[in-house]
């Protein structure tokens, strides 16, 4: 039996549009884009020009800080354009996808013989490295450091998140190889967080990892919460994290010698007509997923990622490489809510006790009112204020951190205090729920992101 | 609603940059967001959905919680008036008198306070904040009914400017704004804020009521009687010499500040605040615990004075103790903000209030000063709570084995 950690703090937001467990046809747009700003904190240097032919696995740009860190094309085809914006900032690289994918061949030696350094350089060369992230700062892992542990969460508790047990069906061999590779990169343990009480959970059979089971509301599936409970990050520590599906890239690379970035994502959200899973590749256009499959007549917001911590994208934008889902919600600009603050707002989901959310979920009211479908849109539903209410954030952050004081240190740019109050342990996604429940409507994830960037700059 | 929306859209250009009424932009914005939920949407990065809770909802809930105290206060003002003048009138006449007596204070406090808020918001280029809606409601409830209106105006202006705006507005203030207004009155015009003549309106209310006061009448509050007692036996009476006990204090048909007298009304407010989790039950409970603790200590070990002998449970129902505990100590901005801190903060408020009542002959009521004092110490209390979290983190780093 693996140890079980229960958390009580957090919030499961009830929102419609969970993906049905069907994997639809492979969706790939004809043009695929590599967007440098999807990889936070890198400084890209282009390695191709328009007209070049690239294979899947051919480097397209690399990082200027770590010159061996390649970012590779997920498809084969011709480079259509290298788009730059103001001050020649690299915006994206567009590739015309071929029907039949040609893969760059990497000669991979057997795992036993490789040293950690050789593994790292192979992964960097093949463009898989950017999927390995690090705490502190929630950025692409610095390959020159050795992590004290590697953390993987095998489940996502975010609203409408995909089920990785379903996605990984038939791919556990690649997953195991990926784990074995990662295990060679740390002198410590590879931790796999597994959701408790899931019947026939395949992740419990994974070997060469330290399995811990978790039970509780969102955000317990966030790797940051799991790190805080098992082996918290102190000053000077480095921990690596990687998404479940990204472990597969490593596994496929060492099993087959190619960079195969195929992944399954969930199309979710209340405005999706048929929410389900699709096979795809990072960098594909959002448009083919949603055309004909979303509600018409209202302005919609498309999100690469989940509704709490994803990125707002336009219909012709591209899927970011870390996303495992696309969410579609009502933009909300069409609503004119008269005296909304004074209304009962039965169909709004509130974590506070100021709305009847809890009441209407009691059996008695469920009988009278039927099941209430909570309505969501992208409005802030209030004005931005200074922090007024206390103990709001604490209730949804199951970490040994005093969030309000950390946020205040971040807002005022006090780096010493950020260090002392848990700045090394936190990532924007961990505070997404704090942002949801905030009475003062503060953009907390942005505050954390910017503060982490300042910390990284000043402390490294 | 569409007509109203269209009207708001029509007049909007006047208030925008370059418009004729540009200087009233924040006023327009205040009204627009009051009438219609703003359609500002979430930014590109960050949470795309938000909880419907906002400061308008929160602040208006506090006002709802204050309504029972206000309504009872109005009735009690009328009741005391007709009791003092010996007239036998029905409930509605009493209430009407009280309504007319209290209404001007509410208007003055809101007009002065909100006026300054609007100007402040315009200068800072921010939205109008809702904090004053509560402050402006509290001020009439914590003053004696005979306070001249101009004093209330000055005190409100002083409090809003020097206790709030200079710090940066709602959420940034150190002191409870309503209490600063009261403290200003207390120290600037002491004769109008204490003594026997200020607690019962014996004159008219906007020309209504009036009459000659009966000979046996004495307008001293129970705590005033305790503070000036000639013997060490606490004996409190109503305005006509009938002795008062715990339940009379609980029901609250006694002289006192407008909103503070009825513990039933305050309890109703407390229930609303706690059910909605707007106020912290920890703070509220610990104030009462602190007060009870200190009251018991004085009952057994105190000096030989009437105030020290005043039973501890009576301390909790007479004067502004309960009102302060429920509505003032729980102000989230000026209170301790950590959960452990709230226990300490509340307990010390309760203790200090009773200490001031018993040991300081100059102040018959200690609640206002106790809360203001602890407002200063709230950040210090939080500092120690936060520091213990920091120490835990540093200790953890020192014992961590793998580097």
Residue B102 vs residues B75, B107, B145, B153, B257: alpha-carbon distances, Å: 10, 9, 7, 14, 11
**CB of A332 within 8 Å of any CB in chain B?**
yes
In a domain, A340, yes or no: no
- CB B37 to CB A335 under 8 A? yes
Cβ neighbours of A12 in B, within 8 Å: none
Q: What are phi and psi of A46, to 5 degrees?
A: -70, 140
B29-67 in b/e burial notation, b at 16+ Cβ within 10 A?
A: bbebbebbbbbbbbeeebbbbbbbbbbbbbbbbbeebbe
Cross-chain Cβ contact B37/A341 below 8 Å: yes
The Cα of B308 is separated from the nearest Cα of chain A by a number of Å equal to 36
- What does the pLDDT look like over A180-206, one tens digit per residue? 999 999 999 999 999 999 888 999 999
Tell me the residues of chain A between 380 and 409 that have a Cβ less than 8 Å away from chain B.
380-391, 394, 400-402, 404-405
pLDDT surpasses 70 at A362: yes
User: Inter-chain contact A441–B339, Cβ cutoff 8 Å?
Assistant: no
Q: Do B49 and A312 touch (CB under 8 A)?
A: no
Chain A: give the shortest CA distance to residue B225, in Å.
39
| Facing residue for B35 by CB, picked from A187, A333, A339 | A339
Using the beta-carbon criterion (under 8 Å), do A449 and B392 form an inter-chain contact? no
Tell whether A273 and A397 lie within a shared domain: no
Q: Which residues of B touch A11 (CB under 8 A)?
A: none
Render the burial of B297-323: b for 16+ CB within 10 Å, e for the rest: bbbeebeebbbbbbebbbbbbbbbbbb
CATH code: domain of residue A93: 2.40.50
Domain of A173, in residue numbers: 1-27+108-335
State whether A142 and A177 are in the same domain: yes
The chain B residue lying nearest A348, using CA atoms, is: B52
Q: What is the mean pLDDT of residues A403-421?
A: 94
Q: How many contacts does A have with B, using Cβ atoms within 8 A?
A: 226
Residues A256, A389 within the same domain: no
Express as a percent the part of chain A with pLDDT over 70. 100
Q: Which among B53, B131, B400 has CB closest to A234?
A: B400
Do A270 and A324 sit in the same domain of this protein? Answer: yes
Q: Do A384 and B50 touch (CB under 8 A)?
A: no
The C-alpha of A94 sits at a distance from chain B's nearest C-alpha, in angstroms, of 22
- For chain A, the residue count is 460
Q: Which of A387-401, B138-152, B188-202 has the lowest mean pLDDT?
A: B188-202
Residue A342 lies in a domain: no
The pLDDT value recorded for residue A108 is 82
Closest CB from A378, A388, A390 relative to B42: A378
Say yes or no: B393 contacts chain A, CB-CB below 8 A.
yes
Contact, A37 vs A63, CB < 8 A?
Answer: no
Which residue in the block uniquely carries the two structure tokens 């109703």?
B268
The minimum CA-CA distance between B272 and chain A, rounded to whole Å, is 10
Q: Mean pLDDT across the stretch B54-81?
A: 94
Kindly state whether residue A7 falls inside one of the protein's structural domains. Answer: yes
The predicted complex's ipTM stands at: 0.92
Residue A199 and residue A304 in one domain: yes
d(CA A195, CA B327): 43
Q: Does B4 touch chain A (CB under 8 A)?
A: yes
Count Cα neighbours of A323 within 13 Å in the Cβ-side half-sphere: 34
Tell me, yes or no, whether A102 lies in a domain. Answer: no
| Contacting B residues, span 62-121, partner chain A, CB-CB under 8 Å | none
One domain, residues A83 and A119: no
Q: Residues 213..242 of A with a Cβ closer than 8 Å to B: which?
A: 232, 234-237
pLDDT the model gives residue B403? 42
| Contact between chains at B53 and A149 (C-beta distance less than 8 A) | no
Instruction: Give the H or E element holding residue A110.
Output: none
Q: Which residue of A has its CA nearest to B34?
A: A339
Contact state of A445 with B4 under an 8 Å Cβ cutoff:
no
Q: B176 contacts in A (CB within 8 Å)?
A: none
pLDDT in tens, B83-106: 988 888 999 999 999 999 999 999
Domains for chain B: give ranges and CATH numbers.
2-35 (no CATH), 57-388 (1.10.3430)
For residue B39, what pLDDT band results from cuts at 50, 70 and 90?
A: confident
**Residue A4 β-bridge partners:** A213
How does pLDDT run across B352-361, given as a tens digit for each residue?
A: 999 999 998 7
Contact map slice: A 69-128 vs B, CB within 8 A = none
Is the separation of the CB atoms in A127 and A321 below 8 Å? no
The answer to the question of residue A354 being in a domain is no
Averaged over B317-343, what is the pLDDT? 94
Q: Are residues A212 and A269 in the same domain?
A: yes
Q: Do A426 and A294 fall within a single domain? A: no
**Whether A57 and A129 share a structural domain:** no
The two counts, helices (H) then strands (E), for chain A are: 11, 20
Residue A341 in domain: no
Choose the closest CB to B47 out of A335, A351, A435. A435
CB contact under 8 A, B49 and A15: yes
Predicted local distance difference test score (pLDDT) of residue A338 = 87
A82 & A118 share domain: no
Decide which of B224 and A139 is more confident: A139
User: Can you read off the two tokens belonging to residue A119?
Assistant: 């593994």
Whether residue A163 sits in one domain with residue A82: no
pLDDT on residue B400: 59
**Interchain proximity B49–A400, CB inside 8 Å:** no
Q: What is the mean pLDDT of residues A117-127?
A: 94
**Rounded-to-5 percentages of helix, strand, coil across chain A:** 25, 20, 50
How many domains is chain A partitioned into structurally?
3
Contact call for residues A392 and B55 (beta carbons, < 8 A): no
Q: Which residues from chain B sit within 8 angstroms of residue A235, using beta carbons?
A: 397
Nearest by CB to A332, which of B39, B44, B276? B39
Question: H helices of B302-363, where?
Answer: 306-309, 312-317, 321-323, 339-359
Q: Would you place residue B138 in the very low, low, confident or very high pLDDT band (cuts 50, 70, 90)?
A: very high
A360 part of a folded domain = no
The answer for B 331-370 residues in CB contact with A (under 8 A) is 332-333, 335, 337-339
A355 touches chain B (CB under 8 A): yes
Taking 90 as the threshold, does the pLDDT of residue B76 lie above it? Answer: yes
Average of per-residue pLDDT values in chain A: 92
3-state secondary structure of A60: strand
Report the C-alpha gap between A114 and A124 in whole angstroms.
15
- Spatial neighbors of A80 by CB under 8 A, at least 6 apart, are A31, A50, A94, A95, A96
Domain co-membership, A300 together with A434: no
Quick check: B367 pLDDT over 50? yes
Alpha carbons A62 and A367: distance in angstroms, whole number? 59
Instruction: Pick B60's closest partner by Cβ from A236, A341, A388.
Output: A341
pLDDT of residue B402: 45
Partner B contacted by A298 (CB < 8 A) = no
Q: What is the enclosing helix (H) or strand (E) of B265?
A: helix B263-275
Are residues B46 and A387, on separate chains, in Cβ contact within 8 Å?
no
Among chain B residues, CA nearest to A328: B48
Which residue in B170, B276, B389 is closest to A354 by CB distance? B276
Instruction: Decide if A418 is inside a domain.
Output: yes
Tell me whether B384 touches chain A (CB under 8 Å). Answer: no
Cβ distance B38 to A380 less than 8 Å, yes or no, reads yes
């Amino acid at each position: 039996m693996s140890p079980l950690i229960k958390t009580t703090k957090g919030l499961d937001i009830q929102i419609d549009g969970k993906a049905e467990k069907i994997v639809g046809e492979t969706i790939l747009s004809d043009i695929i884009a590599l967007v440098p700003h999807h990889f936070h904190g890198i400084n890209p240097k282009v390695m191709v020009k328009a007209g070049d032919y690239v294979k899947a696995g051919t480097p397209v740009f690399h990082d200027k800080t770590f010159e061996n860190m390649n970012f590779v094309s997920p498809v084969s085809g011709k480079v259509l354009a290298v788009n730059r914006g103001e001050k020649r900032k690299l915006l994206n690289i567009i590739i015309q996808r071929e029907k039949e994918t040609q893969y760059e061949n990497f000669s991979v030696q057997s795992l036993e013989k490789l040293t950690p350094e050789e593994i790292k350089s192979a992964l960097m060369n093949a463009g898989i490295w950017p999927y390995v992230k690090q705490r502190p700062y929630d950025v692409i892992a610095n390959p020159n450091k050795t992590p004290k542990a590697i953390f993987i969460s095998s489940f996502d508790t975010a609203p409408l998140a995909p089920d990785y047990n379903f996605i990984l069906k038939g791919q556990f061999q690649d997953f195991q190889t990926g784990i074995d590779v990662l295990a060679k990169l740390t002198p410590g343990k590879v931790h796999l967080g597994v959701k408790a009480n899931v019947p026939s959970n395949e992740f419990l059979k994974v070997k060469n990892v330290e399995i811990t089971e978790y039970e509780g509301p969102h955000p317990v599936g966030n790797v940051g919460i799991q790190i805080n409970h098992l082996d918290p990050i102190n000053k000077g520590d480095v921990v690596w994290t990687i998404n479940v599906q990204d472990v597969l890239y490593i596994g496929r690379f060492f099993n087959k010698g190619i960079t195969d970035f195929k992944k399954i994502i969930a199309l979710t959200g209340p405005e999706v007509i048929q929410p389900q899973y699709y096979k795809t590749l990072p960098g594909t256009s959002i448009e083919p997923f949603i055309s004909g499959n979303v509600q018409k007549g209202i302005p919609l917001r498309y999100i690469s990622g989940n509704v709490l911590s994803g990125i707002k994208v336009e219909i012709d934008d591209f899927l970011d490489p870390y996303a495992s889902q696309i969410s579609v919600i009502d933009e909300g600009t069409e609503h004119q809510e008269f005296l909304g603050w004074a209304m009962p707002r039965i169909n709004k989901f509130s974590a506070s006790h100021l709305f009847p959310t809890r009441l209407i979920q009691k059996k008695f009211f469920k009988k009278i009112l039927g099941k209430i479908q909570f309505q969501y849109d992208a409005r802030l539903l209030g004005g931005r204020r200074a922090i007024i209410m206390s103990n709001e954030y604490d209730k949804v952050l199951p970490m040994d951190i005093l969030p309000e004081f950390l946020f205040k240190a971040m807002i005022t740019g006090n780096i010493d205090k950020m260090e002392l109050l848990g700045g090394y342990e936190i990532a924007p996604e961990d505070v997404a729920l704090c942002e949801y429940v905030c009475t003062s409507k503060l953009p907390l994830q942005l505050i954390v992101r910017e503060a982490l960037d300042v910390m990284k700059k000043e402390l490294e | 609603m569409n007509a109203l929306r269209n009207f708001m859209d029509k007049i909007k250009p006047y208030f925008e940059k370059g418009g004729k009424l540009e200087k009233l932009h924040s006023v327009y914005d205040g009204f627009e967001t009051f009438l219609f939920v703003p359609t500002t949407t979430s930014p590109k990065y960050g949470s795309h959905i938000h909880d419907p809770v906002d400061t308008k909802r929160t602040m208006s809930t506090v006002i709802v919680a204050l309504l029972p105290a206000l309504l009872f206060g109005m009735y009690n003002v009328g009741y005391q008036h007709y009791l003092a003048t010996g007239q036998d009138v029905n409930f509605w006449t009493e209430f009407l008198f009280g309504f007319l007596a209290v209404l001007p204070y509410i208007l003055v406090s809101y007009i002065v306070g909100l006026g300054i808020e609007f100007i402040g918001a315009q200068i800072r280029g921010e939205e109008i904040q809702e904090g004053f809606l509560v402050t402006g409601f509290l001020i009439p409830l914590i003053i004696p009914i005979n306070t001249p209106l101009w004093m209330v105006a000055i005190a409100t202006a002083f409090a809003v400017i020097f206790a709030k705006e200079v710090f940066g507005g709602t959420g940034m203030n150190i002191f409870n704004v309503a209490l600063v207004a009261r403290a200003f009155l207390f120290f600037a015009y002491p004769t109008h804020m204490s003594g026997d003549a200020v607690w019962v309106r014996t004159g008219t209310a906007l020309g209504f009521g009036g009459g000659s006061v009966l000979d046996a009448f004495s307008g001293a509050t129970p705590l005033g009687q305790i503070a000036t007692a000639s013997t060490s036996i606490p004996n409190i009476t109503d305005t006509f010499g009938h002795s008062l006990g715990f339940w009379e204090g609980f029901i609250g048909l006694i002289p006192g500040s407008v909103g503070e007298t009825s513990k039933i009304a305050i309890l109703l407010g407390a229930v609303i605040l706690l059910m909605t989790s707007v106020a912290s039950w920890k703070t509220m409970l610990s104030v009462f615990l602190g007060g009870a603790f200190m009251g018991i200590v004085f009952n057994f070990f105190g000096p030989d004075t009437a105030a020290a002998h005043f039973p501890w449970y009576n301390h909790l129902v007479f004067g502004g103790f309960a009102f302060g505990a429920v509505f003032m100590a729980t102000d989230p901005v000026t209170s301790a903000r950590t959960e452990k801190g709230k226990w300490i903060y509340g307990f010390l408020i309760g203790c200090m209030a009773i200490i001031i009542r018993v040991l300081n002959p100059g102040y018959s009521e200690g609640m206002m000063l106790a809360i203001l004092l602890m407002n200063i110490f709230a950040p210090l209390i939080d500092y120690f709570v936060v520091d213990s979290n920091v120490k835990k983190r540093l200790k953890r780093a020192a014992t961590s084995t793998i580097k």
